[in-house]
A = this chain, B = another copy of it.
Amino acid sequence: MSYSDFSKNQLLDELASLKAKYTDYVGRGLSLDMSRGKPCTEQLDISSGLLNVLSCDDQCVSAQGFDCRNYGILDGIPAAKELMSGMLQVKPEQVFVGGNSSLNMMFDTIACMMTAPIAEGCEPWFNVKDRKFLCPVPGYDRHFAITEYFGFEMITVPMTESGPDMDIVESLVASDASIKGIWCVPKYSNPTGITFSDDTVRRFANLKPAAKDFRIMWDNAYCIHDVSDVTDTLISLMDECEKAGNPDLPIIFSSTSKVTFPGAGIAAMGTSENNMKIFKKRYTTQTIGSDKLNMIRHLLFFKDFDGLKAHMLKHKAILKPRFDVVADKFSQYLADKGIANWTNPRGGYFVSIDVYPGTAKAVEKMCKAAGLTLTSVGATYPCGNDPEDKNIRIAPSYPTVEELSLAMDVFCTCVCICAIEKILEQ
């Protein structure tokens, strides 16, 4: 029964019963940090083999005969480009393999365009005083932090079940030349877990931006990260852009941070020849090349893209029970209450829940008091400002199933308490 159908007394009774439960939870001494999408130890252990797969000098020589212990090869060894091209859905020759962090590559990409024009006849973005960036919400805080750091005004665009609201995106980019780009996590999106539909991808590929230097920052972080037996499919943005005659629109990123080790994976980007020329002019000044031995470790460990996908089944086996716990608890506590909406993603690292409007911060605070740290409320919006104070990102990967189960009991109890208190205020 929905809380909206409860009488005041029924609400008060329910509140009293929930508060008693909450007091009990506080007493259990829970201490759990679920603030980030951090793989658990079990997940790290399945990549143990990566540690000693490269153990002698001979293995350091690439297929082309290059000694990868030494200086050289700015954009990564060819076999690593080939491996990463599968994640990026681009051709191997469009790939630049970097260091251990795709976030770093995204930051450097924006930094590059701040001081060097990406398209002929355009200004470096530092000179565009009213520069703007589109931010689908809820979205990823570290993306928003980059454009905040570089002084962009961030314009939010609502997410739908099939991606950002493309009517709004199309209309904004067509009318305002100071809008320079958009952040996207196209598959198993952070945090809603949805995957952009074929239609959404095609509409992105066919955008007609007023700014010649408008670019799509396509962070395909969860491209092969299924947590369900039924999986989503994302079509290639690069293919669609090339068909549409817009090859320079997309800059595509991914990494093995959530495949092997978050601290010691390999990251890569893919983009058109025109764009790459500008980025390489910067990279060639910035570095002699990234860690090629770590590329070789990954190549020896996975052999090829199929090996990489096979490895992801082990992650799925670890993560699926965790995502199931979240779905089950939400359903058990919240299904018929009319106070929350959430997603049941088939992949990625997060579950997004909209609690009763105006109560997300209160839920966060109550959880914290019970020993449960959530992702900061507001983090899924630019500058940490969720105007309706309702979205919370759940990161189920790190806790054990038992910890997570208790954490979700606590969380759902808090969601109900805060909703009732808000309803009673109104």
Copies in the complex: 2
Given contacts A45-B57, A115-B114, A150-B115, A294 and B264 within 8 Å (CB-CB): yes
Q: Is A136 located at the chain interface by the 8 A CB criterion? A: no
A263 touching B68, Cβ below 8 Å: yes
A100 touching B285, Cβ below 8 Å: no
Q: For this complex, into which size category does the number of interface residues on chain A fall?
A: 35 or more
Q: Is A208 located at the chain interface by the 8 A CB criterion? A: no
Chain B residues with CB below 8 A from A285, complex form: 107, 142, 145-146, 149
B293 touching A263, Cβ below 8 Å: yes
B57 touching A55, Cβ below 8 Å: no
Cα separation A418 to B136 with both chains bound (whole Å): 66
A72 touching B263, Cβ below 8 Å: yes
Q: Is A126 located at the chain interface by the 8 A CB criterion? A: yes
Which of A16-24, A35-43, A177-185 is near enough to bind chain B?
A35-43
Cα separation A45 to B60 with both chains bound (whole Å): 11
Given contacts A72-B263, A146-B285, A67 and B52 within 8 Å (CB-CB): no
Q: Which residue of B lies closest to A282 (CB)?
A: B149
Given contacts A51-B57, A55-B52, A115-B126, A288 and B70 within 8 Å (CB-CB): no
B71 touching A36, Cβ below 8 Å: yes
Given contacts A111-B111, A290-B100, A70 and B261 within 8 Å (CB-CB): yes
Chain A 281-299: CB-based contact to B (< 8 A → 1; otherwise 0) = 1100111111111100000
- Nearest-CB distance from A407 to chain B (Å)? 19
Chain B residues with CB below 8 A from A263, complex form: 68-73, 288-289, 291-293
A39 touching B115, Cβ below 8 Å: no
11 residue pairs from A and B, CB less than 8 Å apart: A38-B71, A44-B67, A44-B70, A51-B55, A51-B57, A69-B261, A99-B99, A103-B287, A111-B115, A145-B285, A264-B293
